[in-house]
Structure 1
Amino acid sequence: MKYLFSIALIVLTQHTFSQTVTGNWYGHADVILGGTHNNYLTELVLKQKGNEVEGVMGYYFRNSYQSFIVRGKYNPKTRYLEIKNIPIVYFRSNSKMTVDCVMDFEATLTVSKIKSNLRGYFMRDPRYRYTCPDLTVLFTLDPKEVNQDSAIITATASHVIWKPAAEDVVVTVDAIPVIKENTTPEEIQPFEQRKTFIINEIEVESDSVRVTLYDNGDIDGDVVSVFYNKLPVLNKQVLSAQGTNLYLQLDPSKNINEISLFAENLGNIPPNTALMIVNDGAKRYELFMTSDLKMNGTVRIKKKRPVVISRQ
């Protein structure tokens, strides 16, 4: 009898959990137009009350971040979620001029023992079917418990542009990883004992870059440390589908700056792999990194020289 009661309790618990969309979700949205293009990194904080939901939605698009308060409907029986009138930046907009497409978000909740997903679409207004393509969306629930009430209450609509190349923009010191002056030899020695494997070399226009790291492929528990010019700037970070951001200033005394990935483990599927996105405010580079217990995957960054036009 106890065994049957335990099974019933587990089933009831899973069933109850599966009916709610309350939580913190993260994912991506892809353009449906001649193939897919991973253009938007999305996040969503929701709180459900009956069939009503409210929360905050945000997304990164190229060099900007937008967030806004949302309200919608959720049907626990069909697990169908709908949020209307969401302004999504047109995917062909540039950094100087953006155009919003007002879209409706429609998704269905799926739950497994491993994870929970909201899978659906940003649907365009039929009046703009020739200009604003639909977006496929996949959200994954963050299992970490965060106070949704606090996130929703303190949220405000915002539109932030990240332009480090502009002369009048000052990058605050606390936004830049602090390279410890008193780094000990014990911290650097394991890094120096491995070979440096140059994966790519890129040219940037800015004096600073934003670096975002994701696990590439299956989320298998990869743990990495990041070294910048052979000094540690990020220690033992678990890679996931949720990005980890670093803001790095280029060293003007060096012709080449190096970002290296140091594998702390090999995960469940060797080698240790990551997707590194480097953004200088004008251009975005997607780099597929790999490292293991013998080599450090490294990207070289050069500052683009200004073009000098001689007058004759």
Structure 2
Amino acid sequence: MMKKALFCYLPILMLTCILTFSVTAQTITGAWKGKIGNTKVELKLVKSGDSLSGTSYYYISKTNYRRYSVKGYFDPETNAVIWWDDWMIEDHSSRAVMGTAAVDAQLSVADFNCPGETVMLLDGTSNKKESKDADKKNLHLEKITAPQFTDDWDWVIENYTVGANDPYIIDSINQLQGSTPYPEEKQIPIQTIPAPVLAEQPAPAPAPEPKISTTTKPSSPEEKFASRKKVLQTVIPVTAETIELRFYDNAQVDGDSIALFLNGRLIFEHIRLTEQAYTIKIKASDLGADNELVMVAENLGSIPPNTSFMVAIVGDKRYEARLFANENSSAMVRIVKQ
């Protein structure tokens, strides 16, 4: 009789163990609260594969805050976490919260650790996402069960903990809260030049004095790099010895040409983007802890702006991003060693 009862309860016990393992294995998902420097922060993260989605609040009070959509990555093997403010959703703040919104979106790197059964922490550093050289501030966040700010992510987190991890729901909320706008290429209209009207030719005029050419010399890639704003478009965490980068034309092949700078130094130029990958490899030993790869548009092709589809292969991980650049801005990728 006892064996029969045990047999009946065995599936329930197994299911409980599976659910418990699933929940504990995904504990990066949830709400977090603490500080970056002296700024109060509430962060909500949801894990899908190795990727993170969510939202961040920088606040003084519940009515004085700034909110961003968040993207990031989590490495379960090292418990390394990296996330960044992708797009500002709401601004109900005074300048005292963090300063200027466009300048103060953050990129954060932290370790996920559990010093106790019920205590989960994120400890690391954070700085302005548009510059690796900006001052880094200490980051300390603790996982909480009752967030101060309510939004759609609360429902996702609640369902996630009981195993209802639906990627469609996560993608839907990401679309609702928006992301960094990506400009579409627009075909430049062809100008029709009317045929010249034939008329009686006048007597030839005396030859004019030769003029000195005043044609402006095209700017070099270095000059374009220095004069254009760098806009962060994605972040790549590096845990392998080599990073392989593949660049394609993102849309119709239209003659786009780019130059690449690593930490301010020109490493490749005159890269013509096509449907075939232009591949470069970078050794991790040649990188610092935090690095900036900048894609500069050498031209805009026949369909502006200059757009690229980039694939990064780091060990057994693959990252993808659409990059865009024009005459005013260049695409920046932060490459962070973990």
The two structures have a TM-score, normalised by structure 2, of 0.34
| Richer in strand (by share) | 1
Structure (1 or 2) with the greater helix fraction: 2
Larger Rg: 2
Report the TM-score when normalising by structure 1: 0.36
